[in-house]
Structure formats: structure tokens, C-alpha cells
Amino acid sequence: MPTGVTVNALAGGGLERREHALLPPRPGGALLAVERANICGSDVHVWRGGHPTLHDCVLGHEFVGRIVRTDGSPMVDARGEPLSEGDRLVCTYFRVCGTCVMCVLGRTHLCEHAYDSWAHSSLRRPHFRGAFASHYQMHPEQIRVKIPPGMPGELAALANCAVAQGLAVVDAIRPDLVDGPCLVIGAGALGLATVAGGSAMATWDVYDRVPARRRIAARFPNARPLHEVPPPAGTLGGVYDVVVVAAGSAESFVTALEQVRPGGQIIMMGIINTRPTDTVSFTPGVLTRKGVTVTSVIRYHQRHLIAAVDLLSGPTPLREIPLAEFTLDDIDDALAAAERHESGRVSLVPHPDKGGR
């Protein structure tokens, strides 16, 4: 039986490459060849042991793949378009079961079985549970969208999770609150996807301490990169209608609380670590007295993945995000580069001999 490789994050830290058999896909699923997988900030958190549920898993979740095998039954994408062997697609890194309490309530982003595929060791069948691998076993409950012919993998790979997640943030903004500029904390792909998706809604100040990231943000027409946020105007001050936390540090929440105007909205997205050390000190009374709405955005709806592919198909400044490319063999260097924030996105190309495919 043919085999492929996975790159696994181990519970105690570190990485391990494993070779596994390429099993036939389960009914309704598909075996994909990974064309390109990006390193998302949360992959770095998993690698560093900061994720609450992912330990000993196959790293990687932001990717584009090509179907190499189905079970032979008809398969469609989220738009209802037929899918067959050879088609390229993006799929959610999480599952949507459709039958749990959250799914029945329409809150599919909170499906109780979201991580039932990803959060297991590759030693358990069907092995290929993450995208830092030669192949990927797509579960039938993962939402998938076909990639239009000719769309470069560099763009397609951004759809899940960065761009779909950014569009979910834009969807969560209360439009009645937006009058002046809004603030994004963190100019990584999540922050920039929010700016691109929310271009019709507001102008965006984009705060990031990393100069390379500010230079990328400067290419977005509706963005103003900031090296420093404005000094807080007293305990109950703040000027921004909406502050989106797209950075991973716990301190970003305090900055958001200082910068949001009374009656404004904070959207939490980037802070995902739940270790006991990932705490921060703030005065809850400020939250009350400013009348701030805090909205958390975790994962997204299938309409956001469809919209992400559509957004990336047109003229968008997201095309300006530079990519650094590595092979799977250079995974350590790639993760280190992603952690240093030197490039807009760091990509792994498992099959470079096939032009990525």
C-alpha cells in the first residue's frame, strides 16, 4: 500500500515525522494531496504547547489540496457543485456534525465534534489528520469549497482559516456602532483579512509592533499602520468604535479595552491560549462603565468559506501578502520563521516537484 508522511506536534513539545499508509477514504470523505499548507499563528501555539485541546496531533490546518481518491459516491461542495478526483478544494479544519445541540441551533461554528478528527494522534487511523503532511483525509463532515480553475495555490490556501475567519469577524461587527475608524490589533493574515473584508464598512487603523507587518498593512488602501496606539484618554476614554483583537498575546485585550470608545465593541479572535500563565490584569468595572460589548469569534460558518474563495478570486489587497516557501523537510525552519513574523505567511509545499500539486 502506498504511504505518505505527517509532521506531528508531540504533547511534550517537539516534532516527529511519521510515515503512514494511505488508506481508502471513508464513505463521503476524500483523500487529498496537500498542495500547499500555510503556518497560521495557532499552529505556532500548538507547536509551543499552548493549545487547550491539541496535543500529539498532526500540525497544520490552513491549506489547499487536490482530491486523489474518493469512495466513488457522488460528492458536492458547499455550493452544491460536484467534486471528483483531480479537483482542487479548500476545507474547514473543523467538522460540522449537523446533529449536536449547537449545530441544531444553527451555531455550527461551535459544533461539539469540531475537533473529533484533528485532535487525535496520527497513530490512529486514518492517520492524515492535519495539513503539514503529504496527504490529508477529509472527513465527510468537513465543509469544502471547490477552487476555481487557475486560482494560484498561494491565494487559495489563505481561504481557510485566515480569510474565512476575518470575514466571520466582519460579520460579527455591529454596523450600527461604526461611524469613525476601527482598530485591528495584529497585522498578521487574520488582521489583514478583517481589513480586506471590512473595507466597505470602515477605515482601519492597524496596530503592530513588527515593522515588516506594518509595511504589508500599508499596501491595503483602507488601512493606516500604527507603531503605537493613541495614549489612553483617562480610565473611561478611547476613540475606536470597534477594536478587533487579531493578535495572540493576552495583553492585547487590555489594549483593546483602553482603546475602544464608550459604547463600542471589542471582538476577540486572536487570543486562543488557555494556559494558567496566559492571564492578564484589568479592571472589570471599566468594561461595565464603558458599556462595551465583547464578542468572541471562534471558527466560522460555511458562508464565510464560500465568501473567502470569492474574495480571493477578485482583485483584493490580500494578494499583496508575501509568502515564504519551505518544504516539509524544513518544517523547523519554517515554524521558526513564522514565529519571527518575518513574512506575511509561511508556506509548506510538500510536493515541490509537481509544482506544488
Determine how β-strand 57-58 pairs with β-strand 345-348: unpaired
Q: By C-beta, is 161 or 257 nearer to Zn ion?
A: 161
Q: By C-beta, is 22 or 267 nearer to Zn ion?
A: 267
* Closest CB 319 distance from Zn ion, rounded Å: 19
Interface positions with Zn ion (CB under 5 A):
40, 42, 97, 100, 103, 111, 161
Q: By C-beta, is 40 or 268 nearer to Zn ion?
A: 40
* Closest CB 27 distance from Zn ion, rounded Å: 19
**187 CB-side CA count, 13 A:** 29
Burial 40-49 (b: 16+ CB within 10 A, else e): bbbbbbbbeb
Helix spans in the chain (H):
41-47, 101-104, 153-156, 164-172, 189-197, 211-217, 251-259, 284-290, 302-313, 331-340
Helix spans in 173-280 (H):
189-197, 211-217, 251-259
Distance CA 6, CA 29 (A): 19
Q: By C-beta, is 84 or 99 nearer to Zn ion?
A: 99
Residue with cell 489612553: 232
* Closest CB 263 distance from Zn ion, rounded Å: 31
Residue with cell 470608545: 261
Q: By C-beta, is 261 or 299 nearer to Zn ion?
A: 299
